[in-house]
Amino acid sequence: MSTTEPARTPGAVPLLELRGVTKRFPGVVANDGIDLKVMPGQIVTLLGENGAGKSTLMKIVYGLYRPDAGSVLLDGYDAGIASPSDAIAKGIGMIHQHFMLVPTLTVAENVALGMGGRRGLADMRPVRRRLAEVSERYGLSVDPDALVWQLSVGERQRAEILKALYRDARLLVLDEPTAVLTPPEVDDLFVTLRQMRADGVGMIFISHKLGEVLEISDEITVLRDGRVSGHTRPSETSREALAEMMVGRPVSLTREIPEVSPGSPVLTVEGLTVPGDRGTVAVDDLSLTVRAGEIVGIAGVSGNGQRELADAVFGLRGATSGAVVVDGRPLLGLGPRQVRDHGVAYIPEERMKDGAIGEFTVAENLMLVDHARPPFSRRGFLDFGAIDAHSRELVASYRVKTPGIHTETRHLSGGNIQKVVIAREFSADAEVLLVAQPTRGVDIGAAEYIHARLLEQRSAGAAILLISEDLDEVMALSDRIVVVLEGRVMGEVARGEATAQEIGLMMAGETRDAA
Q: Which residues of 234-268 are buried (b: 16+ CB within 10 A; e: fewer)?
A: beebebebbbbbbbeeebebeeebeebebeebbbb
Q: What is the mean pLDDT of the chain?
A: 86
| Contact between 227 and 21 (Cβ < 8 Å) | no
Tell me what pLDDT residue 118 has: 44
The 10 Å Cβ neighbour count of residue 329 is: 11
Nearest to 262 by CA among 288, 296, 295, 293: 293
Tell me what pLDDT residue 267 has: 96
CATH topology of domain 16-247: Rossmann fold (3.40.50)
Q: Which of 242-256, 370-384, 386-400, 436-450 has the lowest mean pLDDT?
A: 370-384
Q: Which of 20-24, 229-233, 468-472, 480-484 has the lowest mean pLDDT?
A: 468-472
Distance CA 289, CA 273 (A): 16
Section 206-231 average pLDDT? 91
Q: Does position 3 have pLDDT exceeding 50, yes or no?
A: no
378: alpha, beta or left? (left if phi > 0; alpha if psi -120 to 50): beta
Q: How far is CA 500 from CA 145, 182, 244, 470, 510, in A?
A: 33, 9, 25, 11, 13
Tell me what pLDDT residue 325 has: 96
CA-CA-CA-CA torsion sign (198, 200, 202, 203)? negative
- Side-by-side strand order, sheet with 294-299: 344-347, 432-436, 463-468, 294-299, 480-485, 488-494
Query: Is pLDDT larger for residue 279 or for residue 123?
Result: 279
What CATH number was assigned to the domain covering residues 265-354+430-507?
3.40.50.300
Do the two domains 16-247 and 265-354+430-507 of this chain adopt the same fold?
Answer: yes
Distance CA 336, CA 312 (A): 10
Query: Is pLDDT larger for residue 269 or for residue 410?
Result: 269
pLDDT digits (tens, 9 = 90+) for 256-282: 788 888 999 999 999 999 998 777 899
How confident is residue 500, by pLDDT bands cut at 50, 70 and 90? Answer: confident
| Contact between 480 and 294 (Cβ < 8 Å) | yes
Give the global pTM.
Answer: 0.70
Q: Which of 5-14, 172-181, 197-206, 374-383 has the lowest mean pLDDT?
A: 5-14
Domain coordinates in residue numbering, the chain? 16-247, 265-354+430-507
